[in-house]
Amino acid sequence: MKFLRILILIFISSNSFAAIEYHKFIQPEQEATYKLLTKELRCLVCQNQTIADSNADLAKDLRRQVYEMLQQGKSKDQIIEFMTQRYGDFVLYNPPFKAKTGLLWIGPFAFLLIGLIMLIWVSRRRNQHNELTENELQKKARIKSLLSDEAEQ
């Protein structure tokens, strides 16, 4: 019964691709490149979607462009160059490391480093604080033991 249910679910589920148009590829490598590229290129209309996910008209046109260029035998790098020449680095989901995008790449690590330094600094100060109280505790314990020794005698 459970098996049947799973089977039914498998049949009624489908991969949701916004890319509704059908592109025929003769070479499987080209299809793989197409899938890879459409997931790396940003749709500039709906900026938080890739052109593979977006249903915007521009995304459709850009998918067509990628497909046609692959059919012409263009490489992945040539297509990326074509897109960045027209739309700038913003079209790439992974912007290249440049002076302009440096903060974008280094920023998170820099903040992590600052956080770590702060953490070490704060915990060191606290440790010093704890050492003092530990010293005091030891003293207290000694006093206690001395006192109890006295009481026993």
Partner 1 sequence: MFKYLAPLVLFIVLAIFLAIGLNLNPRDIPSPLINQPAPDFALPVLNQPGRTLTKHALIGDVWVLNVWASWCVSCRMEHPVFNQLAQQKLVTLVGLNYKDEEPAAKQWLSQRGNPYTIVLQDQEGRTGIDYGVYGVPETFIVDKKGVIRYKHTGPVDESDMQNILIPFIKKLQAEIE
Smallest separation (angstroms) from partner 1 to the CB of 34: 17
Measured from the CB atom, the residue of 114 and 143 that comes closer to partner 1 is: 114
Binding pattern to partner 1, positions 58-77, x when CB under 8 A?
x--xx--x------------
* CA dihedral sign, ordered 89, 90, 91, 93: positive
Q: Binding partner 1 by CB under 8 A: which of 88, 96, 102, 108?
A: 88
Q: By CB under 8 A, is residue 103 in contact with partner 1? A: no
Closest approach, Cβ 126 to partner 1, in A, equals 14
Q: Where are the beta strands (DSSP E) in 3-146?
A: none
Under rule CB under 8 A, which residues in 110-129 are in contact with partner 1? none
Cα–Cα distance measured from residue 32 to residue 38, given in angstroms and rounded to the nearest whole number: 10
Describe the crossing of helices 57-71 and 76-87 by its angle, rounded to 10 degrees. 140
Question: Of 65 and 71, which has the nearer Cβ to partner 1?
Answer: 65
String of b and e for 11-22 (b: at least 16 CB within 10 Å)? eeeeeeebbeee
Q: Which of 18, 44, 80, 92 binds partner 1 (CB under 8 A)?
A: 44
Q: Does 81 bind partner 1 (CB under 8 A)?
A: no
Single-letter amino acid, residue 141: A
Interface with partner 1 (CB under 8 A), residue total: 14
Tokens read off for 130: 């704890």
Rounded Cα distance, 145 and 149, in Å: 6
Q: Could you give the angle at the alpha carbon of 94 between the alpha carbons of 34 and 61, nearest 5°?
A: 40
Residue 57 or 134: the one with the smaller Cβ distance to partner 1 is 57
- Chain residues binding partner 1 by CB under 8 A are 44-45, 47, 57-58, 61-62, 65, 84-88, 90
